[in-house]
């Protein structure tokens, strides 16, 4: 057993040594690979929006009021207390609507336009729901987990965009994380957001814990992962499935993966490129975009 541990430690040290000798932040080589790629796909996560002031969807200390986000972002929570869940999402919407796209968002949008002019394909698959990619000018976006600007009817499943803030008058001034539930009167069900098609209760168009991704959206993402020439992992630790499986699959296909993350070390030893630092700085430089 001790011999096995020793061998394992030696192997891990060897991996680190090999990675240290590789120049993962090789801008020149990456630029050549980038220019030769016809189908480019970027997977983005919370790290891109962090520079716009949007952290995780939790409040100070990892909680919103006294609630964990996982206890609110679920179908069960919505059935039990739709008013409380809507207050939480009203707060999230206000945070997102007050934020502005940063240089990382803008660089991706400008690069998409450049690819279009050159007859190449560039698509963003995002795990974010804040809508900042679209506000920055990106058009080819696959939103895996939904969007805070949209709602879906709990009855007829009609999906619509609701960019008015507050989304309904009853939510005005609500959602303050510092408040206590007991100090805030519950909003009547009749005053919560309604479907404009049938009048039934609407809920945020967000994929909640315990729910599956929209199969059509997932198929679109998988098709891109199966056909891309270059895959960019941007601002995400890639631990949430199925998105976590995308980069490893591209590696298995023998195609290059480039990671852009605040961490100094890459998430995988199999990634060909790793550019540490803030995405607002690394993306314009690597994509050759003037901001």
Query: Is residue 12, in this structure, part of any structural domain at all?
Result: no
Q: Does the active-site annotation cover 105?
A: no
Q: How many domains is the chain built from?
A: 2
Query: Is residue 164, in this structure, part of any structural domain at all?
Result: yes
Q: State yes or no: 262 annotated in a binding site.
A: yes
Shared domain for 252 and 286, answered yes or no, is yes
Query: Is residue 37, in this structure, part of any structural domain at all?
Result: yes
The CATH number linked to 184 is 3.30.1600.10
Q: The tokens of 134 are what?
A: 């679209």
Which pLDDT belongs to residue 17?
Answer: 36
Q: State yes or no: 168 annotated in a binding site.
A: no
Q: State yes or no: 279 annotated in a binding site.
A: yes
Q: State yes or no: 12 annotated in a binding site.
A: no
Query: Is residue 272, in this structure, part of any structural domain at all?
Result: yes
Domain holding 116, by residue range, is: 24-54+101-145+213-291
| H/E run at residue 261 | strand 257-261
Number of helical H runs and strand E runs in the chain: 11, 9
Q: State yes or no: 198 annotated in a binding site.
A: yes
d(CA 116, CA 230): 16
Q: State yes or no: 6 annotated in a binding site.
A: no
DSSP, residue by residue, 81-96: -HHHHHHHHHHHHHHH
Give pLDDT tens digits along the chain (291 positions). Answer: 443 334 333 333 334 433 444 678 899 999 999 999 999 999 999 999 999 999 765 445 568 989 988 899 999 999 999 999 999 999 999 999 999 999 999 999 999 999 999 999 999 999 999 999 999 999 999 999 999 999 999 999 999 999 999 999 999 999 999 989 889 999 999 999 999 999 999 999 999 999 999 999 999 999 999 999 999 999 998 777 889 999 999 999 999 999 999 988 888 889 999 999 999 999 999 999 998
DSSP, residue by residue, 137-169: T--SEEETTEEEEEEEETTT--EEE---SSSSG
Helix pair 279-287, 103-117: axis angle to 10 deg: 20
d(CA 120, CA 39): 6
Q: State yes or no: 199 annotated in a binding site.
A: no
Which pLDDT belongs to residue 238?
Answer: 72
Which pLDDT belongs to residue 61?
Answer: 54
Answer yes or no: are the C-beta atoms of 240 and 73 closer than 8 Å.
no
Closest CA to 45 of 148, 151, 149, 144: 144
Query: Is residue 35, in this structure, part of any structural domain at all?
Result: yes
Beta-sheet strands, E only, within 67-134: 121-126
Taking the mean position of all CA atoms in its chain, how far away is CA 20?
A: 29
Shared domain for 165 and 258, answered yes or no, is no
Exposed e or buried b per residue across 168-191, where buried means at least 16 C-beta atoms within 10 angstroms of its C-beta: bebbeebbbbeeeeeebeebeeee
Shared domain for 130 and 228, answered yes or no, is yes
Query: Is residue 173, in this structure, part of any structural domain at all?
Result: yes
d(CA 228, CA 255): 8
Q: Which of 168, 189, 206 is the last residue of a domain?
A: 206
Query: Is residue 192, in this structure, part of any structural domain at all?
Result: yes
Shared domain for 161 and 79, answered yes or no, is yes
Which pLDDT belongs to residue 191?
Answer: 98
Q: Which of 67, 90, 105, 145 is catalytic?
A: 145
Which pLDDT belongs to residue 62?
Answer: 65
DSSP state of 131: -
d(CA 250, CA 232): 10
d(CA 215, CA 218): 5
Q: Residues 286, 24, 139, 133: is their CA dihedral positive or negative?
A: negative
Q: Residues 276, 206, 231, 102: is their CA dihedral positive or negative?
A: negative
Shared domain for 65 and 195, answered yes or no, is yes
242 preceded by a cis bond (ω within 30 of 0): yes
Q: State yes or no: 85 annotated in a binding site.
A: no
Which pLDDT belongs to residue 166?
Answer: 97
Q: State yes or no: 137 annotated in a binding site.
A: no
Q: Which of 206, 230, 256 is the last residue of a domain?
A: 206
Q: How many CB atoms lie within 10 A of CB 288?
A: 14
């Amino acid at each position: 057993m001790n011999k096995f541990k020793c061998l394992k430690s030696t192997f891990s040290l060897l991996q680190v040594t090999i990675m240290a000798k590789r120049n993962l932040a090789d801008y020149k080589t990456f630029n050549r690979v980038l220019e030769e790629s016809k189908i480019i796909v970027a997977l983005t996560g919370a790290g891109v929006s962090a520079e716009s002031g949007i952290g995780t969807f939790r409040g100070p200390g990892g909680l919103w009021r006294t609630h964990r986000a996982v206890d609110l972002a679920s179908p069960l929570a919505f059935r039990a207390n739709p008013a409380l869940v809507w207050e939480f999402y009203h707060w999230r919407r206000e945070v997102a609507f007050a934020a502005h796209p940063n240089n990382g968002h803008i660089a991706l949008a400008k690069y998409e336009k450049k690819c279009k002019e050159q007859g190449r394909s560039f698509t963003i698959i995002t795990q974010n729901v804040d809508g900042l990619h679209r506000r920055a000018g990106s058009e080819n976006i696959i939103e895996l987990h939904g969007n805070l600007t949209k709602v879906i009817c709990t009855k007829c499943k009609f999906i619509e965009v609701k960019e008015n803030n507050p989304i309904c008058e009853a939510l005005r001034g609500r959602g303050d994380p510092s408040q206590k539930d007991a100090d805030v009167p519950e909003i009547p069900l009749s005053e919560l957001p309604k479907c404009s098609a049938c009048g039934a209760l609407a809920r945020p168009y967000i994929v909640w814990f315990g729910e599956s991704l929209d199969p059509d959206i997932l198929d679109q993402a998988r098709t891109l992962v199966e056909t891309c020439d270059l895959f960019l992992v941007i601002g995400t630790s890639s631990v949430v499935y199925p998105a976590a499986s995308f980069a490893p699959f591209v590696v298995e296909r023998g195609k290059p993966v480039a990671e852009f993350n605040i961490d100094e070390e890459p998430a995988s030893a199999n990634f060909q490129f790793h550019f540490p630092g803030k995405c607002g700085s690394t993306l314009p430089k690597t994509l050759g975009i003037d901001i």
